[in-house]
Amino acid sequence: MHLELEESERAFRDEVRAFLKDNLTPDLIAGGRSATSVFCDPKFSLPWQRILNARGWAAPSWPKQFGGPGWSEMQQYIYAEECALAGAPNLAPMGLRMVGPCIMHHGTPEQRAYYLPRILSGEDYWCQGYSEPGAGSDLANLRTRADSDGDHYVINGSKIWTTHAHFANMMFGLVRTDFDAKAQKGITFLLIDMKAPGVTIRPIINLAGEHELNEVFFDNVRVPKANRIGAENDGWTVAKYLLEFERGGSFAPALRARLKRIRSAAREETADGRPLLENFAFEERLASAEIKVEAIQITEHRVASALSSGQNPGPLSSMLKTQGTEMLQRIEELGLDLAAHYLPARRHMNGFGANEPAFGSDAAARYYNSRAASIYGGSNEIQRNIMARLVLGL
């Protein structure tokens, strides 16, 4: 593995930088940087997705035959880093990174032809229907049922913690179609129209005071069997495939961009003339975080190298998920300290909540939302169990 970019990769990086400079408007940058979690408001993410789709860049990991650019692993990494540094809005991951690859791998030709172009264009905006009040980390305990009725399933039950369900027109979800089979054997993977009669969405306001999460209720909701991905009662296989993408991705580009903005803001002087960077304890924590993010980046390069040569990264994915999400939490603690230092002066903070009166709330919202990062996508406790089993043989 070579850590230095090759000439062709440097040329690709320059192409990406030029495109971002020409197409990222100040409004889109402001919208991207205002996001307090990995999910950006669709009023910013969807216009940016349309711009990228016109260039063929909406789905960096997709192969060419399905509308993607067919980039190498390193090209995808370079692109993610440049977008993060430029402040581009995050695109909603549920369609592009999660259900899209599932449809490619497990869907029928008809399903691919219909859904994949709509995912690329943003015409379909997706949410995930997995967790239930009694089935979170123990997802196989889900109870939402789908009863067969001719060419349809009839769904009754509920889902919880459903991110952006209030924006979505489609859900990919797990339902139980066989209550007599072993837990994982009786589950089916369905694509559900969120506008169908019987679907009710109720908001969940998080600790940051934001509406990002929802409860979703199904009361005799009819779903065509043509919307099933994979075989009936084999949805667990599809779900496991999808989780590979939910836990994947790169952490270091976004973490580096966030640290860069924190360092820049910490140089600002307060009313008494003291920048936060003059605080040795803060500078030490900031430098330590920067070193650890560099280590994460090297590991991500190792994963990219393994994938490029057709290898499976194995437990490295679990390690990156654990290290990346816990480092995100440490960085947002720095952001919160930064806000506390500058709040009395009510100074502009380079994207940390410059618009009054929400000066400190942006940092607080980011901090609160980062708490969930070590839970979703398979909690870090689960990831450590995977590492213990695969690396230490425990």
Catalytic residues: 246
> What is the torsional sign of CA 17, 23, 27, 33?
negative
Using the CB atoms, write b or e for 268-306: b if 16+ within 10 Å. Answer: beeeeeeebbeeeebeebbeebbebbeebbebbbebbbb
- Tell me how far apart the alpha carbons of residues 262 and 272 are, in angstroms, rounded to a whole number: 20
Whole-Å CA distances, 350 to 190, 264, 276, 277: 43, 8, 14, 15
DSSP state of 160: -
- Tell me how far apart the alpha carbons of residues 250 and 309 are, in angstroms, rounded to a whole number: 18
By the 8 A CB rule, do 249 and 383 touch? no
Longest dimension (CA), the chain: 74
DSSP state of 132: B
| 3-state SS, residue 358 | coil
| 3-state SS, residue 250 | coil
DSSP state of 92: P
- Tell me how far apart the alpha carbons of residues 46 and 42 are, in angstroms, rounded to a whole number: 5
| 3-state SS, residue 148 | strand
By the 8 A CB rule, do 186 and 180 touch? yes
Q: Which residues pair with 103 in a beta bridge?
A: none
Supply φ then ψ for residue 204, to 5 degrees.
Answer: -120, 120
Angle 108-246-125 (CA atoms, 0-180°, nearest 5)?
60
